[in-house]
Amino acid sequence: MADDQHNLPSPYSTGLAGRCPRCGEGKLFDGFLKVRPRCSACGLDFSFADSADGPAVFIMLIAGFAVLGSALYVEIAYEPPIWVHMMIWLPLAVIVCLALLRPMKGLAVSLQYANKAQEGRLDKSEPER
């Protein structure tokens, strides 16, 4: 079992590339963000994959910081009219968010596999209510 963990491809390279976290060959996504049911190369069942809102939250923080910081700099340095801000920063924010969403979701799924993350209680010694 320990050998299997050492033979895995990097979760960072497979996740960012949208590849299977076990073999690194099969595609992870079926469409833009829908995770496939299983890997076409090794047959890994992707039912464990539930990235929820994690990637979206990180992307909003990263994109918001970068785009808002740039917009504030342009406002202070050049004082353009509001329509210039809308024409530049609104499309840029959408493009940055969409460009980062698929790689971040792939990374989340790949790290879930590498760290054996699954749903359930953290402490099994405590009885359920």
- Integer Cα distance of 82 and 32 in angstroms: 33
pLDDT value at 52 more than 80: yes
Min mean pLDDT across 56-60, 86-90, 119-123 is at 119-123
- Integer Cα distance of 24 and 32 in angstroms: 18
- Mean pLDDT score, 18-28: 95
- Mean pLDDT score, 13-39: 94
pLDDT level of residue 116 (50, 70, 90 thresholds): confident
Domain boundaries, the chain: 7-114
Quote the pTM value.
0.82
DSSP per-residue letters across 21-73? TTTS-SBSBSSSSPBPSB-TTT--BGGG---TTHHHHHHHHHHHHHHHHHHHH
- Mean pLDDT score, 19-28: 94
